[in-house]
Amino acid sequence: MNFLGTVIASSYPPGPTTSNFSFVVTNNEPIPVRKGQFVQINTEDGLLLGMVQEIVKTNRFYSHPEYVREYERGGQPLASIFPCDRWDMLIANVKPLGVFTNGIFDKVSFPPSPGEKVYIADDEVLINLLGLDVENGLNLGSLRFHDLPASLNMTRLLQKHLAILAMSGSGKSYLATVIIEELLSRKPDSGRVAVIIVDVHGEYSSIANMPEKNDQLDLSEKVTVIKSPFVQFATPLISNRWFGTLQPEMSPIQVRELGRIIAEMRREYQNKSYSLKDLLAYIENDAKIPQRSKEALLGWLYELEETDLFGTEEAPNLENLVKPGHAIILDLSEATSLKKKQLIVAYIATRLFGLRRRGVIPPFTMILEEAHQFCPQARQELAISQKIIEQIAREGRKFYASLCLISQRPVRLSTTILSQANTHIILRISNPNDLDTIKASSEMITSEIISMITSLPVGEALIVGSAVNYPIFVKIRQRYTKESSYEVDLEKAAKIFEEQSNPKKQIK
Ligand SMILES: Nc1ncnc2c1ncn2[C@@H]1O[C@H](COP(=O)(O)OP(=O)(O)O)[C@@H](O)[C@H]1O
Ligand SMILES: [Mg+2]
């Protein structure tokens, strides 16, 4: 058994109570206990579980500074005069989380007694307490301070949307890759979703790389990469209202006129496909629309036409490509304007949600990098994709359409969307405004936890919300698939540049 120590009757903070107690560590290992670790006690009420909130080190010999100074004035350290080491003492303060009685987990309604023995929590109990899904879950890494996989149940993690928040360079995209690897390696009888990744920086195609080791899964067959120049919208699918959201400056009257014109054009074209160019020509020839409305409408639609996105057929063909256990990576790194990126996201998201509602495509999760660019909080920002993403955030759960929002600026992300994400995975954040936003977004996040977020190392995460019963800290596992290119440092980049511009001279 992993014995730690004994509950004490303490006066500061007063305890044991139902909301906190302290124990003195009697285990002799050098570092027997750590902040954040889960512990258990057998009480008369059942098995009580708690989390170590703080650890205090004390030593009576050093508690009066004037004595220490007086003794050590003579040049001899105190420890050479007295057996100080033996009086080193660790007191750990614990927040009780719940109590197991007859297999049922309940709130703590009776305090543990002084003298009771404290142990490190057993794995089985911890799995139950935290609500992990060890058999069938997504393995994101290992629980900090416990030798347990952080396997999260897929439904609990994704169905009510997920947000991954942290400053840049702290491991958001890496974690998203780990989640994708887990989703793509599921077996059909575990339940598989389709994955759509909005890859703003073009960094996800490495998921299709060969795995690090031979015995790990090769995902290359399960990934389709589409670069933005190859994206094309099927104009005949776009209704007048939909045009209205893609070009928000169109007036309601113009949208109505467009509706009439599209209806007439469809009748005339019957089953023949048409592009936005055809539609524009049709509007030019329309005699019914007042001249001023016509000019305005043409102006707005020409602006859309200039993006080169509106064709006759859809590419990629979502009906064919969105498959269970398969990922589509939409690489937007070559799309230069934010408007173009937003148009693509708005079109794809609208189509995915429509197809999903009709049951044409399987349940899916859409991973959205730089989510604050696509659904900003500030009203004056360009936000063509906002409406549909907010709709999926609100209604997606019923249709098994889920969102995984990634952002390094939570404060700039629409609060409507953030509040719909029921699980938050938070990596290192230090910006105080972002921390405030995060604190406001979940009542589970206490000031204690906030202080832990600011000191998280790269690749460690806090998970809170519906995926787990209690907030947990997780060390994110290594990805199976190889990272595409290792970041080159400034010195190396400078040398490469000089070598390339002056090939004769090899710079050492
Ligand atoms: N869990 C992890 N294990 C190992 N290395 C990691 C981990 N998370 C992040 N890293 C390293 O940190 C770098 C930055 O991570 P990245 O996911 O690109 O950050 P972000 O998307 O938050 O800007 C990665 O290239 C990787 O080398
Ligand atoms: Mg990133």
Digit-coded pLDDT (tens) for 250-285: 999 999 999 999 999 999 998 899 999 999 999 999
How far is Cα of residue 246 from the mean position of the Cα atoms in its chain? 27
Residues with CB under 6 A from ligand 1: 166, 168-174, 458-459, 476, 478, 483
Dist. CA 334 → ligand 2 center (Å):
16
Q: What pLDDT does residue 441 have? A: 81
* Summary mean pLDDT of the chain: 92
Distances (CA, A) of 87 to 30, 58, 78, 126: 14, 8, 12, 33
Pick left, alpha or beta for residue 268 (phi over 0 → left; psi -120 to 50 → alpha; otherwise beta): alpha
Q: What predicted TM-score, i.e. pTM, was given to this entire model? A: 0.90
Separation CA 494–CA 488 (nearest Å): 10
Task: Identify the pLDDT of residue 119.
Answer: 97
How many CB atoms are closer than 10 A to CB 21? 29
DSSP H helices, 225-374, are 240-246, 252-269, 276-284, 291-305, 318-321, 338-357, 371-374
Q: Which residue has its alpha carbon closest to ligand 1 atom 9?
A: 171
Q: Which residue has the CA at smallest separation from atom 5 of ligand 1?
A: 459
Look at the alpha carbons of 133, 170, 391, 417 in this order and tell me if their dihedral is positive or negative.
Answer: positive
d(CA 149, ligand 1 centre) in Å: 19
> What domains are defined for the chain?
3-129 (no CATH), 149-230+315-476 (3.40.50.300), 233-311 (no CATH)
Structure token digits, residue 213: 């080791």
pLDDT tens, position by position, for the chain (508 residues)? 699 999 999 888 898 999 999 999 998 888 899 988 999 999 989 999 999 999 999 998 999 999 899 988 988 888 888 888 888 899 999 999 999 988 788 999 999 999 999 999 999 999 999 999 999 999 999 999 998 999 999 999 999 999 999 999 999 999 999 999 999 999 999 999 999 999 999 999 999 887 777 777 889 899 999 999 999 999 999 999 999 999 999 999 999 999 999 999 999 998 899 999 999 999 999 999 999 999 999 999 999 999 999 999 999 999 999 999 999 999 999 998 999 999 999 999 999 999 999 999 999 999 999 999 999 999 888 899 999 999 999 999 999 999 999 999 999 999 999 999 999 999 999 999 999 988 888 777 888 788 888 989 999 999 999 999 989 999 999 998 888 765 667 888 899 888 888 766 555 5
Cβ 333 vs Cβ 484: under 8 Å: no
Q: How far apart are CA 417 and CA 160, in angstroms?
A: 11
Identify the residue whose C-alpha is closest to ligand 1 atom 15. Answer: 171
- pLDDT digit string, tens, across residues 203-252: 999 998 877 777 778 898 999 999 999 999 999 999 999 999 999 999 99
- The answer to whether 135 touches 371, Cβ cutoff 8 Å, is no
User: Can you say whether the dihedral through the CA atoms of 224, 230, 234, 238 is positive or negative?
Assistant: positive
113 close to 4: Cβ distance less than 8 angstroms: no
Q: How far does the centroid of ligand 1 lie from the alpha carbon of residue 173, in Å?
A: 7
Q: Which atom of ligand 1 is nearest to the CA of 483?
A: 25
Quick check: 364 and 352 in contact, CB under 8 A? Answer: yes
Dist CA 31 CA 140 (whole Å): 26
- For residue 198, the model assigns a pLDDT of 98
Say which ligand is closest to the CA of 371. Answer: 2
**Cα distance between the two ends of the chain:** 58
Q: How far is the CA of 374 from the centre of ligand 1 (A)?
A: 23
- Please report, for residues 185, 209, 218, 378, the alpha-carbon distance to residue 214 in angstroms, rounded to integers and kept in the order given: 15, 12, 9, 48
Distance (Å, whole) CA 3 – CA 122: 11
CA distance 446 to 130: 18
Report d(CA 464, CA 39) in Å as an integer: 19
DSSP string, 283-309: HHT-SSS-HHHHHHHHHHHHHHHTTT-
Atom of ligand 1 nearest to the CA of 167: 22
CA-based torsion, 252, 257, 258, 264: positive or negative:
positive
